A and B are shown apart, each in its own frame.
Chain A
Amino acid sequence: MSSDSSSSTSGDDTKSGQHTPQPLEHQFASVALSEAPATQEESLNGEGHHRTETEINEREGIVGGFEQRVDDKFEVDEVGQSVEHGVMWRRTNSELEVDGQSSPSSSGYAGERGSTSASSAASGIDGIVEDEIQHVRNDDLVDGFSDLSSSWVPGKRHLDEDDASISWRKRKKHFFILSNSGKPIYSRYGDEHKLAGFSATLQAIISFVENGGDHVKSVRAGKHQVIFLVKGPIYLVCISCTEEPYESLRGQLELIYGQMILILTKSVNRCFAKNPKFDMTPLLGGTDVVFSSLIHSFSWNPATFLHAYTCLPLAYATRQAASAILQDVADSGVLFAILMCKHKVISLVGAQKASLHPDDMLLLANFVMSSESFRTSESFSPICLPRYNPMAFLYAYVHYFDVDTYLILLTTSSDAFYHLKDCRIRIEVVLLKSNVLSEVQRSMLDGGMHVEDLPVDPLPRYGSLSSHLGQPTDSPERFREFTGIGGPAGLWHFMYRSIFLDQYVSSDFSPPINNPRQQKRLYRAYHKLYASMHNTGVGPYKTQFRRDENYVLLCWATQDFELYAAFDPLAEKALAIKTCTRISQWVKDVENEIFLLGASPFSW
């Protein structure tokens, strides 16, 4: 959304073949309400023709409205030079062969062999720096590292690259969205429009296999995997050499698709039904940041593969206070009321039987947090929850209470802005009065569970852990069988997923997992473990122990929870097992504070 001020509403300039991204707001009349209410009236009137339809059948109405807007754009959508529908395989080949002629080898790629082997020494580390090129020189690593730290800047980089660039080819993880006619919609790296030929190749692969009566899922070549996901007229492709398992990468494509649906709804399919050459890029104009931030979260946010959400640790009473007021507004016609601090949930309430899928929460939070405009003013924006109803828009009222804490109120009614604004004011008053917001700040400072604080006491300890979670005031004794950094028995990190609650808690990172690179590596290891535990066909397994050069990983799955724990690679098996039992006990002891428990009638 960062580009909204610079773009024009007229579609004329697209005729030249140069696509100026259209801001999302123009397509969907997402209304920023920092100005006078009149602006809102006007903007909403933009959708006025469809109001009657909306009243009859809201979902259809939204679809119709969307389609109308899209239809209006058709005239200016012709992309003269782009690749034709149904690109022939032969043609694609010849394009690639031409590409390869620059070098004499049959692979057309001999030129790069030297550099690859020459830089192999740096490999141990560069495997982690996904944003950077596969084989970076040591000094590049410094940049790669800073990329990942808290100063990570969302948005697209390396726009100057295309598939002819060596640097582009060496990026560790590409994501593409394209249409079934081969038109590029999104590429993580490089300019989509320059990637039209490449996009056509991807389309050709998919349709070639489809013509043979099959559906391509993945291609493997050495360390590289190409993962395909077909969603009606939308194709998603990931090309990765990050060693993440197929299931993880496919899950990531699903989330990217979900993010797109969250912005556009699935009714975008109808545009393709009407015009296969439909160009979707303008509809997603300015949303690069949303996708790049989601892709970034694949390497730091366990919610992206655990399919669960996590809560900000808070005293039970504090969370109760927040939940009570959210419940209050939910009863007044709000579908979902969500109070969040960054990506962690403070409280969440759904109307009656409505339930919110953790993936929807992830995508919604990502959308809100990555769009700068939500931070600056209270906003009312159409969004779609792909797991809740992929065909329909809901309307999200978003308001930030402070730099990290925000409220999302979801409704089905497009003219509920003032009502939601009132609700927000009521909520704000209560939150301030009951000190919830300051408690949130404090929790942020205190952090969550630390492996060093794992209590040795095996007996259940009821009661509060005070403000600082796990501060072992009541159990000073720890077990010392294992000396070294990290927690007892060489414990480095853990994640606990409650199956019943669809929530997880993970320990805060402590040494030796103390930089983003190591964190990302650990998450990748968890990915493998998770994919292995949940493999289709013969899974899920009950227990898994895995030891390699980097970690001892243990996963323990029961009907109630899954526990993933990472230890020093030299950790002793017997102690590691004992430690896992203690973690699960510890989590149960403090579940009142780390989980959102039965605060509302969730029914998932």
Chain B
Amino acid sequence: MGLSSADTATEAIQLCIFDLRRGQQEGQELDKILFFFPADFPFSRQLSVIGLSEGLITFTRIFSPEVACEVIEADRHTHVFYEAEPDIWMVMIVEKNESEAIWRVDALQKVLKEIHSLFLMFHGSIRALLEKEPAGGLIRSHLYPFIIDYLRDFLFGKKLLLPSFRDCLKERGTVQMLTVSREAAIEVQSLVRLLEGSAGNKPCYSLILFQDLLVSTTLSPVDTISLFTYSILRLTPHALSSGVSSWSYLRKGSTASHVATGSILTHSASVLEQVYGSQDTSHGVDDNYHVARPLQQDRWSKGNDGFLVTDLWGAENGSSTPAAPTIWLQQTEERMYLSAYQYKSLTLILLVPVASILNGDQGVSLVKQQVHENASLKMLKVEEILSKGWGGENAYHVSGYRYLLVDGDRSVSRSSPPGKVTTLTKESLLVLSKVREEVDLEKGQMVGVNAGLEKDLEICIRAKNNAWVIARITKGKEVYMVLERANDTLLYASEAVEKFSNRYCNGAFSLD
């Protein structure tokens, strides 16, 4: 606590959540604040951040009643707003103090959105927790460890590295799919049937991943994204082995850098608390709440039976057996038991409604046993087929192209492998980031009045460094591309897009 070396680090980012319905009386403004990072930020400055945010939300509603303040750009900081739930706002303030600190607002907003979606999945809505305990202690004790655990994934040394222009060929809040052969698809389908059949006739859902890619889901799109995100963060073989999320190219580099990050992370648990203040000293969180911390690192492991185990949800009453993890589905508004099984690169997740299992964890064990009995053989087969068809880490590399494909309607994206993206020059990435920002704005202007119309847009830029930076939006699909060392004519660049579109996108971006 209170390390002097922390001062520079704490300036770099602030994140807060506040409820506009609270603290209306003078002198009670602190009551609005549900979360503030860093926690040891002086109250006066916390209040000033929230005062400015609240002021601008009110101000912008004079002119734009439907969409209030989304971003404040100042010389030294960008303030990004996200209204997570009615009157519950998340605001992130990032400093632009160095050449790497160049953000795309939309990407930062998606971080806030991701935090909230994950929170919903594990703890339900913020408003519901507030209503459960209007004093606010309950929600604060949930939010604080949750967000700190989330941010720990962005911790690099003593610095939080948020998605910057270097990540502009990635799209948070989408899933990445494995392309499978017809034969494999049939096998996967029958595996899903076996898996879901293991819960008897209880209405259940499943999600199957191969490596960090989605193979199958029976969940709604919104729940798929949240659970997929969590799986990549904590459950897949890659997440289990490194104990680190794979969001950043900085971390996905060579094995050498893995070793380095690993050693940093061994003591990173304490770093955040040292640098940003630990919860009990500065926030007065009552430990009596016994809050599960599903985003804590290194708390999942593979058990002998192939199921993933964790003590994150505490232990069963009085015993030493870990309690079964549960999540909350947005679509059905149901709480589900989560069981995850792993075989080599294959991760299977089965969700069974809590309400349908009367004897709690014991019932879950029975379901697991059934999974084992019913689906083991099929898993072997599916794993084998998928492994055979899998082209490895660079499976989706397209030579000469650095790209990102986003299908907005299906929330699916595919992009050049991180190792290939890192070969781009900083300049190309900066241009792409700018172009994406322009496209974000154009898309933002489509909402509301023109929401019914589909944006059709093509931008081709020849940058100073002679790279072609291209964006195409059509029928809800987007493609972003950088072609370095390309021929200098515009026609060449468009032809390159055309070829890519025909070959990899079923002609979605072809002109005719």
Q: Known: A106-B86, A222-B64, A223-B448. Is A89-B51 also a contact (CB below 8 A)?
A: yes
Taking a contact as CB atoms under 8 Å apart, the answer to whether A107 and B68 are in contact is yes
Minimum Cβ distance to chain B for residue A602 (Å): 28
| Chain A residues with CB below 8 A from B76, complex form | 213-215
Q: Known: A208-B51, A216-B74. Is A97-B60 also a contact (CB below 8 A)?
A: no
| Chain A interface size range | 35 or more
Taking a contact as CB atoms under 8 Å apart, the answer to whether B491 and A216 are in contact is no
Q: How many contacts A-B (CB < 8 Å)?
A: 181
User: For the complex, what is the distance from the CA of A318 to the CA of B463, rounded to whole Å?
Assistant: 42
| Chain B residues with CB below 8 A from A89, complex form | 51-52, 55
User: For the complex, what is the distance from the CA of A116 to the CA of B61, rounded to whole Å?
Assistant: 14
Taking a contact as CB atoms under 8 Å apart, the answer to whether B458 and A545 are in contact is yes
Taking a contact as CB atoms under 8 Å apart, the answer to whether B457 and A547 are in contact is yes
Taking a contact as CB atoms under 8 Å apart, the answer to whether A548 and B74 are in contact is no
Taking a contact as CB atoms under 8 Å apart, the answer to whether B70 and A222 are in contact is yes
User: For the complex, what is the distance from the CA of A401 to the CA of B64, rounded to whole Å?
Assistant: 48
The segment out of A47-55, A78-86, A433-441, A532-540 that lies at the interface is: A532-540
Taking a contact as CB atoms under 8 Å apart, the answer to whether A241 and B63 are in contact is yes
A96 within 8 A of B: yes
| Chain A residues with CB below 8 A from B397, complex form | none
Taking a contact as CB atoms under 8 Å apart, the answer to whether B59 and A96 are in contact is yes
Query: Which partner residue on chain A sits nearest B105 by CB separation?
Result: A220
Q: List residues of A (111-135) whose CB comes within 8 Å of B's CBs.
A: 112-113, 116, 120, 123-124, 135
Query: Which partner residue on chain A sits nearest B76 by CB separation?
Result: A214
User: For the complex, what is the distance from the CA of A109 to the CA of B67, rounded to whole Å?
Assistant: 11
Taking a contact as CB atoms under 8 Å apart, the answer to whether A221 and B58 are in contact is no
A226 within 8 A of B: yes
Query: Which partner residue on chain B sits nearest A536 by CB separation?
Result: B434
Q: Known: A538-B431, A538-B434. Is A548-B457 also a contact (CB below 8 A)?
A: yes
Taking a contact as CB atoms under 8 Å apart, the answer to whether B70 and A221 are in contact is yes
Query: Which partner residue on chain A sits nearest B49 by CB separation?
Result: A212
| Chain A residues with CB below 8 A from B453, complex form | 549
Taking a contact as CB atoms under 8 Å apart, the answer to whether B60 and A224 are in contact is yes
In-complex Cβ contact of B20 among A106, A217, A220 (8 A): A106
Minimum Cβ distance to chain B for residue A98 (Å): 11
Query: Which partner residue on chain B sits nearest A224 by CB separation?
Result: B64
Q: List residues of A (521-558) whose CB comes within 8 Å of B's CBs.
A: 528, 532, 535, 537-549
Taking a contact as CB atoms under 8 Å apart, the answer to whether B70 and A546 are in contact is no
Taking a contact as CB atoms under 8 Å apart, the answer to whether B70 and A220 are in contact is yes
Chain A positions 215 through 243: 1 when the CB is less than 8 Å from some CB of chain B, otherwise 0: 11111111110100000000000010101
| Chain A residues with CB below 8 A from B447, complex form | 222
In-complex Cβ contact of B72 among A108, A219, A241, A549 (8 A): A219
In-complex Cβ contact of B52 among A110, A209, A222, A542 (8 A): A209
Taking a contact as CB atoms under 8 Å apart, the answer to whether B460 and A219 are in contact is no
| Chain A residues with CB below 8 A from B159, complex form | none
Interface majority SS on A: helix, strand, loop or mixed?
Answer: mixed
In-complex Cβ contact of A542 among B69, B434, B464 (8 A): B464
User: For the complex, what is the distance from the CA of A212 to the CA of B95, rounded to whole Å?
Assistant: 13
| Chain B residues with CB below 8 A from A220, complex form | 69-71, 73
Minimum Cβ distance to chain A for residue B501 (Å): 15
Minimum Cβ distance to chain B for residue A235 (Å): 15
User: For the complex, what is the distance from the CA of A245 to the CA of B86, rounded to whole Å?
Assistant: 29
Taking a contact as CB atoms under 8 Å apart, the answer to whether A93 and B55 are in contact is yes
In-complex Cβ contact of A537 among B60, B434, B459, B466 (8 A): B434
| Chain A residues with CB below 8 A from B155, complex form | none
In-complex Cβ contact of A113 among B54, B66, B427 (8 A): B66
Taking a contact as CB atoms under 8 Å apart, the answer to whether A538 and B464 are in contact is yes
Chain B positions 99 through 137: 1 when the CB is less than 8 Å from some CB of chain A, otherwise 0: 000100000000000000000000000000000000000
| Chain A residues with CB below 8 A from B491, complex form | 573-574, 577
Minimum Cβ distance to chain A for residue B1 (Å): 24
Query: Which partner residue on chain A sits nearest B471 by CB separation?
Result: A546
Taking a contact as CB atoms under 8 Å apart, the answer to whether B461 and A544 are in contact is yes
Taking a contact as CB atoms under 8 Å apart, the answer to whether B70 and A215 are in contact is no
| Chain B residues with CB below 8 A from A97, complex form | 58
In-complex Cβ contact of A214 among B74, B442, B448 (8 A): B74
Taking a contact as CB atoms under 8 Å apart, the answer to whether B427 and A538 are in contact is yes
B456 within 8 A of A: yes
| Chain B residues with CB below 8 A from A548, complex form | 442, 455-458
| Chain A residues with CB below 8 A from B61, complex form | 100, 107-109, 221
Query: Which partner residue on chain B sits nearest A553 by CB separation?
Result: B459
| Chain A residues with CB below 8 A from B183, complex form | none
| Chain A residues with CB below 8 A from B461, complex form | 532, 541, 543-545
* 4 closest A-B pairs by CB: A222-B67, A109-B65, A221-B60, A543-B462
Given contacts A123-B450, A214-B74, A546-B458, 4 further A-B contacts (CB under 8 A): A215-B76, A218-B72, A573-B494, A577-B491
What are 24 A-B pairs with beta-carbon distances under 8 A? A96-B58, A96-B62, A113-B66, A123-B449, A204-B55, A205-B52, A205-B59, A209-B72, A209-B74, A213-B76, A214-B75, A216-B73, A218-B73, A219-B72, A219-B73, A221-B63, A222-B68, A222-B448, A241-B64, A538-B427, A538-B464, A543-B460, A544-B462, A545-B494
Interface of A with B (CB < 8 Å)? 89-90, 92-93, 96-97, 99-100, 106-110, 112-113, 116, 120, 123-124, 135, 163, 169, 201, 204-205, 208-209, 211-224, 226, 239, 241, 243, 245-246, 528, 532, 535, 537-549, 573-574, 577
Interface of B with A (CB < 8 Å)? 20-21, 26, 48, 51-52, 54-56, 58-77, 86-87, 102, 427, 430-431, 434-435, 438, 441-442, 444-445, 447-450, 453, 455-464, 466, 489-491, 494
